[in-house]
Amino acid sequence: MTITIYGIKNCDTMAKARAWLDSKGVKYKFHDYKETGIDRAHLEQWVQDVGWETLLNRAGTTFRKLPDAQKTGLNESKSISLMMAQLSENADLFNVFTDMFHPEGSEIYLKPVSDYVTLGEPVNFYTVVEAAKRRGETAIGYRLETEAGAADKSYGVHTNPKKSDQVVFTSADKVIVIAEE
């Protein structure tokens, strides 16, 4: 039987754990969640098993490098968001990840393009972004119904499109937005 251990490759504690397993001849697979990431379901299960206070390594370099504002007011939800976001990589994204990963935070929606732009006329993605901004949303792409069946065209999904490219939308097309409703 092979077990899976989860951690960060350069963590001293993980190095000791791997050395101990090696010395005992235990077969294991190492999942470096700093490189590979980790899904919310794993974190939620571990929090349920041992509590967020035990799971979140507040003594490690990753946590210590966070600005004080991000380390205050910790609770289960915020700790899971911190672990998922791997904020040591880019602390400036803290608020974005916290909002996206929080159970009551923003979600990704496909909304009718007609709510944002005039149908049948060429527009660029700048126009879509600005229309979404006026609605308190963040446009991250669009889905073209005419390409929905084409695997080679990502089934019509265009995320982070070139903002200056002209597109003519139809009533069946959707805008992909991050929103709170």
Active site residues: 11
Instruction: Tell me how far the alpha carbon of residue 165 is from its chain's centroid.
Output: 26
Whole-number Å distance between alpha carbons of 93 and 67: 12
Contact 7, 13 (CB under 8 A): yes
What the block records as the tokens of 29 is 């697979």
Which segments within 24-169 are labelled E, that is strand?
A: 28-32, 107-112, 122-124, 138-143, 157-159, 166-168
Q: For 17-42, give the DSSP string.
A: HHHHHHHTT--EEEEEHHHH---HHH
Rg (CA), the chain: 21
